[in-house]
Amino acid sequence: MIDSRLRRLVAGSPHYIEIRYHNRRSRSLGIRKGTPIELASKHTEGVGIRVLFNGAWGFAATSDMGEAALERSLRSAFEGARRLSELRRHRSALAETDRLATGEFELPGYSELLSIPLSEHRETVEDAERRLRSSSKSIDTAQCQYTEVFEEKFIVTSDGADVWLRLVRPELRFLAFAKDGSKMSRGYDSVGATGGWQCMFQNRSLDRYIETAAASAVDLLAAAAPEGGRKKVILAPAMVGLLAHEAIGHTVEADFVISGSVARDLLGQQVASEKVTLCDSGRSEHAPYAGGELPVDDEGVYADRTVLIEKGKLVGYLHSRETAKQFGVKPTGNARAWEFSDEPLIRMRNTYVEPGTDDLNDMIAGIEDGFYVDGPEGGQADATGEFMFGASRVRRIKNGKLAEVVQKVTLSGNAFDVLRSVDAVSSDFKWDLGSGHCGKGQPAKVDAGGPFLRCEILVGGEA
């Protein structure tokens, strides 16, 4: 058994050793215009070994599970650490923790989906694409894509972590292109979860995802450009999640803080409205099946809830065991690696704003001239908190009521300034960014969401 072999490697070591066995299987199916465009499977398996020797890290990885190959990799990691220790002035160290995991964790859906051949999903995906394509005469092209990724890990450390982890993340994407003469528009929707097939439909049914992608494409053909400027807006949970993850979450990852992110100088300060509490958690808080659910990180630390902003005040950062030692705090369970051949980095899991007590209808009624914003289209943010995001499902709010659909908009500004302007937080909550990946040198599966927020933001549009 691989776990017995790996336990023997760490037993009795005077130095810190961390070994991670990782078995990943992914399967994907894509349909466009009634024709399969993808039917693929991928399997990677191997072991990554990290050693901390005299304040320096060494790392080695192998796809050979034999004892001789594992011992060679361990020696290689030790040798790398020894050589680096002769050159480094700064000495790495690990925070002590009582949160090292032991035992087995298998999240819902893993055995269920593993037992179902991908071919059994083909009819559903084909039917979804056909319905999307035929939902309007204006729709010229449609595409539906299904992916599932199975993760199995065994993590053992010389100071006590000893844990098996199994989970699966299914994902569906819907894409429609509508055409009217020379005009073309795109509608898009997607969902990702940690769990079985039905876990993807806790927010919306399969029918609603199809309807949303189709309606977005068709509505945008006739939509007028919005008026630009600083506006009062309602951000839907997906947009709240995008703001929380991209524009806030990355600034509070401790490695970025050490490198000089804006959050380095803001700890203990009021950075948002008192109505805003922002967290990151490996658990699915408030609603189940978040796309970044993770009981244990890749250092074997429980991936607990970490409060980052509490009632508007910045109170914490996201840590590995090494940065936790530097800051004199406990590890937060945020060290994650994508492949067995990658070293863990500080990464988010599920980042969100806590729900409040306000009613969405009352929030809309309080806006004379503004926008309801949903349909995140990605964008960019940097270590200063400055951001620019796109949104594709946007409606005018006029005299306290939802009005017509408008063209796609860009939202920009400083995330902390936007959060300071929040004057209402709904009691709703949704995870709504579970599809796709976060990038930071390596990909990572994450999720983000929250309630509806009413705030002020700069909207790009006509002058």
Both 188 and 233 in a single domain?
Answer: no
The whole-angstrom separation of Cα 366 and Cα 237 is 19
For residue 189, give the CATH number of its domain. 3.30.2290.10
pLDDT in tens, the chain (463 residues): 889 999 999 998 999 999 999 999 999 999 999 999 999 999 999 999 999 999 999 999 999 999 999 999 999 999 999 999 998 888 999 999 999 999 999 999 999 999 999 989 999 999 999 999 999 999 999 999 999 999 999 999 999 999 999 999 999 999 999 999 889 999 999 999 999 999 999 999 999 999 999 999 999 999 999 999 999 999 999 999 999 999 999 999 999 999 999 999 999 999 999 999 999 999 999 999 999 999 999 999 999 999 999 999 999 999 999 999 999 999 999 999 999 999 999 999 999 999 999 999 999 999 999 999 999 998 889 889 999 999 999 999 999 999 999 999 999 999 999 999 999 999 999 999 999 899 999 999 999 999 999 999 999 976 5
DSSP 191-247: EE-SSSGGGGGSSS-HHHHHHHHHHHHHHHHHPBPPBPEEEEEEE-HHHHHHIIIII
The pLDDT of residue 380 is 87
| Residue of 22, 20, 19, 1 lying closest to 11 (CA atoms) | 19
* Full residue range of the structural domain in which residue 84 is found: 2-222
Both 341 and 388 in a single domain?
Answer: yes
Both 84 and 34 in a single domain?
Answer: yes
Both 173 and 198 in a single domain?
Answer: yes
The whole-angstrom separation of Cα 247 and Cα 244 is 6
Cβ contacts of 216 within 8 Å, gap of 6 or more = 176, 186, 187, 188, 189, 375, 392, 393
Following CA atoms 174, 235, 391, 420 in sequence, which dihedral angle do they give, to the nearest 10 degrees?
-140
The whole-angstrom separation of Cα 408 and Cα 336 is 34
Q: Considering 222, 256, 279, which residue would you say is the last residue of a domain?
A: 222
The letter for the amino acid at 397 is: I
Both 216 and 237 in a single domain?
Answer: no
- HEC-encoded secondary structure of 321-359: HHHHHHHCCCCCCCEECCCCCCCCEECCCEEEECCCCEC
The whole-angstrom separation of Cα 98 and Cα 397 is 51
Q: Considering 222, 253, 273, which residue would you say is the last residue of a domain?
A: 222
The pLDDT of residue 463 is 53
Both 157 and 213 in a single domain?
Answer: yes
Both 181 and 271 in a single domain?
Answer: no
The pLDDT of residue 436 is 85
Residues 95, 283 contacting (CB under 8 angstroms): no
β-strand pairing of 369-381 with 229-235 = parallel
Q: In this structure, what token pair is assigned to residue 311?
A: 């009632």
Both 243 and 218 in a single domain?
Answer: no
Question: How many domains in the chain?
Answer: 2
The whole-angstrom separation of Cα 401 and Cα 367 is 8
Both 287 and 311 in a single domain?
Answer: yes
Both 290 and 337 in a single domain?
Answer: yes
Q: Considering 222, 255, 272, which residue would you say is the last residue of a domain?
A: 222
Both 246 and 166 in a single domain?
Answer: no
| Residue of 265, 419, 433, 252 lying closest to 348 (CA atoms) | 252
Burial of 369 (0-12, 13-18, 19+ CB in 10 A): middle
The whole-angstrom separation of Cα 302 and Cα 323 is 16
Both 293 and 426 in a single domain?
Answer: yes
The whole-angstrom separation of Cα 104 and Cα 53 is 29
The whole-angstrom separation of Cα 189 and Cα 203 is 12
